[in-house]
Amino acid sequence: MAKVTVFETVHENAAGIDIGAAKIFVSPDGIEVRSFDTFTSGYYECVEYLQEKGKTEVAMEATGVYWIALYTMLESCGIKVSLINPKETKQVKGRKTDVRDCRWIQKIFSAGILRSSFIPEGKYMEIRHLVRERLDIIDMGSTYVNKMQKCLELMNIKLKEVISQIHGVSGIKMIKAIIEGNRDKDYLLSLCDQKIRKNKPELILKALEANYNDTYLFILEENMKAWEYHQKKIQVIDKRIEQLLHELCQEKQMLK
């Protein structure tokens, strides 16, 4: 006979949910499994099913962003949600796969084995998403910085070797002047920060000795425009974050 593992029950009325892009699988007792589509109507059907089964809490894995909409809907309907790191379930011997995952999640969560992840709520959740979006935009912007650097290298402009970063204030000023047609090295040097002009003027002048090419200059300009666009998007996100933080401060003051 197959050996059956019996767990002590800590969470009496808990269900397990396995989330996918097209379907979610729900087990109210570690045995029965129902599937629902991931449209909003499917989520409402899931909520009704859990309520009919008398479930007051559920456990589900943090899968991409798929969990967020379902989490919000379950919480708004009075069902407590424990978000589980997928590593928690993978480390436990006996974990099933595919549609059986929800059974295993239900069993080990009911037994109190799984730890719930911290989930920021309301405006805190919004701020977290904005911060992540901001980081993504910074990463995308760095692609255009690398492309600008490549164009400069193609024309043997060695700014990277003589200043800390080409997308700093001094670097951007010089690159914009080059794009606009300025070729006077002394003028380009004058655009640099005072410390740079004082400490390494000769190196800057050498770095600016170039073999200019119209096509490389065109690509340089296009990547500069793309980088500046991303910088503006960061400023927009910063304003939104600032607004939400201000609203949170006001809410805290009202509670005092």
* Full set of structural domains in the chain with CATH: 14-110 (3.30.420.10), 123-255 (1.10.287)
Q: What is the pLDDT at residue 65?
A: 77
Q: Give dist(CA 31, CA 106) in Å, integer.
A: 9
Residue-level pLDDT at 5:
57
| pTM for this entry | 0.63
Cβ neighbours around 208 below 10 Å, total: 21
Instruction: List average pLDDT for each run of 10 residues in the chain, which is 256 residues long.
Output: 58 86 88 90 92 91 80 87 75 56 84 71 82 92 94 94 91 95 94 91 93 96 96 95 89 74
Q: Are the C-beta atoms of 15 and 106 separated by less than 8 Å?
A: yes
Q: Are strands 14-19 and 80-84 parallel, antiparallel or unpaired?
A: unpaired
Predicted local distance difference test score (pLDDT) of residue 109? 84
Residue whose tokens read 């255009």: 144
Q: How far apart are CA 70 and CA 58, in angstroms?
A: 11
pLDDT reported for residue 98:
55
Contacts of 248 (CB under 8 A, 6+ apart): 123, 124
Q: 37 pairs with which residues across the strands? A: 23
The confidence score (pLDDT) of residue 19 equals: 86
10 CA to centre of own chain? 34
pLDDT for the residue 82 = 85
pLDDT of residue 86: 72
* Per-residue pLDDT, 8: 66
Gap between the Cα atoms of 256 and 252, Å rounded: 7
